[in-house]
Structure 1
Amino acid sequence: MPQELQQVFILHVDLSPPLEFGNTFSGDRRFIPITGGLVEDSSGHVVGKILNGGGDWNAVRADGVVHVLAKYTIQLEDGTLVNITNEGYGRASQATMKAVFGDDPASASMADEGRAWYTKTWPRFEVAPGKHDWLNKSCFVGNLLPPQKPNHVKIEIHQLL
């Protein structure tokens, strides 16, 4: 039986420039501070905001796989706080990752010899019991879209039905 997907959120995540650790045993490691953003529902209405203080600990491995591990907080319009851990994999060279954080991030999607942009995640939510605890009880997949403007990423979040 094929799985169905339903888009539930679009996350507009604002970033600060990355802190570069260099080439560690995990790959080219960087920390990307998350400084804020907005949460839209599937119809485009803003339903929350992303709070300052999270970050993405990401690394580009030697084989060109990017490991994404972002943790941050969402505050929904009713004040409910939601913890999100968004982990996944992408395919990019170090040159592409440098383009993501440069003056023309839209060029990043074409930086790897014409290969299409690919970054998928499996977001996990944590929220107190109440009207939003369906987030604790469902499985989700994320599609991190190719960057279009500096210091910003957009992630489509889909629920597996």
Structure 2
Amino acid sequence: MTAILSDRPIFTINAELAGILDLGATPYGHRRIIDILGGTVRGDKLTGRVLPGGADWQFIRADGAADIQARYTIETDAGARILVSSEGLRHGPKEVLDRVMRGETVDPALYYFRTVMRFETSDPAVAWMNRILAIARGQREARAVQLDVFEVL
């Protein structure tokens, strides 16, 4: 069975990021934490903002891929709060990833950045999010990340 995604993003997240807190080499890999400072959520199915206080816990694997585990909260324009749990991978040619990490604008087609997203909320207006999975296609910027979020149908 082939998974089918919505034909266009159901919303786009632009999350503002703090600098990288580098914890060094651990038994799992090179560990980093990036705090999420805030941001926006815009799209046909959801609009709102990313609340400060979340983070992206990463480790850089031996093969150079970044293993991403992020948790943060969205607040809709109507006041509903949604917990986001996102796990994924970012990898590509070393010279491309070096440019990304220097904060250069890099065409996201030159590297792979995908996450699987789940949502949790108590608000009936957005309770549909409790029952979906989503795939995000990401783009890293100097101090932000943009995620185009597609629903798995």
TM range (shorter): 0.7 to 0.9
Conserved 8 A contact 1:101-1:151: no
Q: CA deviation at 1:27?
A: 1.3
Conserved 8 A contact 2:54-2:73: yes
One-letter code of the match for 2:53?
A: G
1:68 aligns with 2:68: yes
Match of 1:30 in 2: 32
Match of 1:124 in 2: 118
Q: CA deviation at 1:152?
A: 0.8
Conserved 8 A contact 2:28-2:61: yes
In structure 2, C-alpha distance between the alignment counterparts of 1:24 and 1:70, rounded to whole Å: 19
Report the TM-score, using the length of structure 2 for normalisation.
Answer: 0.87
Match of 1:54 in 2: 54
Q: Call closer, same or farther: CA 1:98–1:24 in 2, change over 3 Å.
A: farther
Q: CA deviation at 1:92?
A: 4.3
Q: CA deviation at 1:116?
A: 2.5
Conserved 8 A contact 1:19-1:32: yes
TM alignment of 1:1-161, pairs within 5 A: 2-6=2-6, 7-42=9-44, 47-92=47-92, 99-102=99-102, 104-107=103-106, 116-145=110-139, 147=140, 149-161=141-153
User: Helix, strand or coil for the counterpart of 1:124?
Assistant: strand
Percent of paired sites with the same residue:
28
Structure 1 stretches of 5 or more lacking a match? Answer: 110-114
Q: CA deviation at 1:63?
A: 1.0
Q: CA deviation at 1:70?
A: 0.6
Q: Call closer, same or farther: CA 1:95–1:21 in 2, change over 3 Å.
A: farther
Count of residue pairs the alignment pairs up: 151
Q: CA deviation at 1:124?
A: 0.8
In structure 2, C-alpha distance between the alignment counterparts of 1:118 and 1:69, rounded to whole Å: 16
User: Helix, strand or coil for the counterpart of 2:124?
Assistant: coil
Q: CA deviation at 1:3?
A: 3.3
Q: CA-to-partner distance for each residue in 1:54-103, whole Å, 9 max, x for gaps? A: 1000111011221000110100000000000111112147776554343x
> How well do the aligned residues superpose, as a CA RMSD in angstroms?
2.3
In structure 2, C-alpha distance between the alignment counterparts of 1:80 and 1:107, rounded to whole Å: 34
